[in-house]
Structure 1
Amino acid sequence: MIRKLFALTFCMGSVAAYAQQQDVAIITAKLDKSPNDTLVNLYEPYSGDTATAVIKNHQFKMTMPIAKGGSVYIMQIGSNPELGGTLVYLEKGKMNITGKGGYFKDATFSGDAWVKEWQEVMNLTAPDAGDGKALADLEQKYRKAMEVGDEDAAEEYNKQGAILQKKQKDVLGKWMQEHRNSGVTGYVMTIYFNTQREMDSLYAGLGEHAKASRILQRWKNPGKVDPSIVNVKVGAEGEAPGTPGSVKIGGPAPAFSIPDMDGKMVSLADFKGKYVFVDFWASWCGPCKPQIPFLKAANDKFKNSNFVMLGISLDSKKEAWVKAVAKHELNWLNLSSLKGWGDATASAYGASYIPFNVLIGPDGNIVARNLYGEEVDKKLSELMPQAALTAIPQK
């Protein structure tokens, strides 16, 4: 039950409100009890683009340049993100916010078509009502069970959660089919559909306006639309330190040195000249478990060849990590810094969700990433055909 969330933190900066630009989003708001003389920040967490306004007479207005297409922003009244923060999707056009309270809770958002579309998606995924609330409750139970090492109870919560997640994805998939040209589809696709196969299939069915969103352009052209991902947090244990990196196929694999279960340091350099499959996972990660049989099969098939598999756990508690390795019989080299999402290697590789994996070639460069299910064996067999042949039992 892993869901990617924006961390409600703000790097203060200034971006002028270029009202004369053609591609801008104009936001007006009247919140009857909003605190006067309070700063309002509008912040794009991937790029750092920021606009500000000051509340006067319980109203504010701000303009954000949207030259690169639609994206999701954090809007914050004051300094308390729990009280005054909300996520909004913006593209060229107008949004109006009205409410009887002081902040965005229970406020009404109106304006251009994309405002309505964003509100529809927020209602479908709300964590305080319906299936969203049930999923959030299960996630809390799951984490508490894992904290005390009750993996059987956690497994049951995870099964129930998987059913709700599947239902949610089906609903969102239907919404995307009905809104093929909405810029909001970029948010839905990149947040709720993680595998490359799912995302490629969904992207192929979208209209040109949807594909032109900043979200999908950033996904399609990593590092070109925006230089890096800033302040992204993935719900679980710990927080990533600083700005995560991003590995590219064909580029060099970042070096690392991480302790194994006995405290012995293991480095990527130890396996120079081999194919190295690095799997980022955690004991509390429900979606990681369906991947285990495919990893076992691949490891058994290629372990006697020019190949090694490494599991890097994003656990923060050693007991839970050790128990999970034993229970699932993960018979490859298992490593962990026990820093959760604060693991420096996960940050260096851009592992902002799990399961996440990379395949490193004998030359130290990235060969593939995000191989799931049968894709693992397929890719390894393609790269090491002779090893695959000798692993097949002879009749």
Structure 2
Amino acid sequence: MNSIKNILIAITLLLSVTSVNAQIKKGDAYPNIQLQNNKNKVLKLNSYTGKIVLVEFWASWCPYCRIANKDLVKLYDKYKGQNFEIVGISVDIEKAKWLQAIEKDKLKHPQLIDPKGFDAKSVAIFGVKGIPSTYLFSTSGKLIAINPTEAQIIAQIKKQ
């Protein structure tokens, strides 16, 4: 009986270490995430390979996110034709409020939702500690920066 208990403890420890190491880090490829967008279609995050992609975690109830959205709209409008994409991932639990925020903030870039809030799988995979949080991916789909500045994003767009 004692050995079964020890085995269960070992498995639990192994799983906890594995989940901690599952967080994305620089140099990693897009995680295998599929989420519903604001048009009720399921999109794969890795479908954006071939473009510079800024993934932004946000929520409708987050005032800092809503302020950041204004800057993202300007950035998107200026660079969307230059092989650049922004993908918003909302941690909203209430879909209606998320959809209202997209409309009010005039977000034209792809919007996805992971409706389990901070318990969402995507939040765990990306290691999101607070919002807004952004992740910049290269055209090859590799993570190159976490919470990059606007200057770093623009430099990456112009570099390609």
- 1:329 equivalent to 2:102? Answer no
1:244 touches 1:347 (CA, 8 Å); kept in 2?
no
Percent sequence identity is: 28
Secondary structure of the 1:323 match is: helix
- 1:382 equivalent to 2:155? Answer yes
Deviations 1:37-64 (A, max 9, x none): xxxxxxxxxxx9xxxxxxxxxxxxxxxx
**Aligned match of 2:134:** 357
Alignment of 1:63-212 (within 5 A): none
Equivalent-residue separation in structure 2 for 1:329 and 1:384 (angstroms): 23
- 1:302 equivalent to 2:79? Answer yes
- Runs of 4+ off more than 6 Å: none
2:65 touches 2:131 (CA, 8 Å); kept in 1?
yes
2:114 touches 2:120 (CA, 8 Å); kept in 1?
yes
Deviations 1:240-287 (A, max 9, x none): xx7584222222231211011222111122112111110000011122
Alignment of 1:211-290 (within 5 A): 245-290=22-67
2:24 touches 2:127 (CA, 8 Å); kept in 1?
yes
1:244 touches 1:349 (CA, 8 Å); kept in 2?
no
1:276 touches 1:361 (CA, 8 Å); kept in 2?
yes
Equivalent-residue separation in structure 1 for 2:65 and 2:115 (angstroms): 17
2:135 touches 2:147 (CA, 8 Å); kept in 1?
yes
2:93 touches 2:117 (CA, 8 Å); kept in 1?
yes
Alignment of 1:7-26 (within 5 A): none
Structure 1: gaps (5+ residues): 1-12, 14-47, 49-226, 229-241, 388-395
Is the radius of gyration larger for structure 1 or structure 2? 1
Aligned length: 146
**Aligned match of 2:92:** 315
2:57 touches 2:90 (CA, 8 Å); kept in 1?
yes
**Aligned match of 1:210:** none
Q: Which has the higher helix share?
A: 2
Residue 344 of structure 1, CA deviation: 1.0
**Aligned match of 2:6:** none
Equivalent-residue separation in structure 1 for 2:64 and 2:99 (angstroms): 19
1:275 touches 1:307 (CA, 8 Å); kept in 2?
yes
Give the AA of the match of 1:385. Answer: K
Residue 307 of structure 1, CA deviation: 1.3
Residue 362 of structure 1, CA deviation: 1.2
Deviations 1:84-118 (A, max 9, x none): xxxxxxxxxxxxxxxxxxxxxxxxxxxxxxxxxxx
TM-score, normalisation: structure 1: 0.35
Alpha carbon RMSD of aligned pairs, Å? 2.2
**Aligned match of 1:16:** none
Structure 2: gaps (5+ residues): 1-8
Give the AA of the match of 1:356. Answer: S
2:31 touches 2:46 (CA, 8 Å); kept in 1?
no
Equivalent-residue separation in structure 1 for 2:122 and 2:21 (angstroms): 9
Deviations 1:186-233 (A, max 9, x none): xxxxxxxxxxxxxxxxxxxxxxxxxxxxxxxxxxxxxxxxx68xxxxx
TM-score, normalisation: structure 2: 0.81
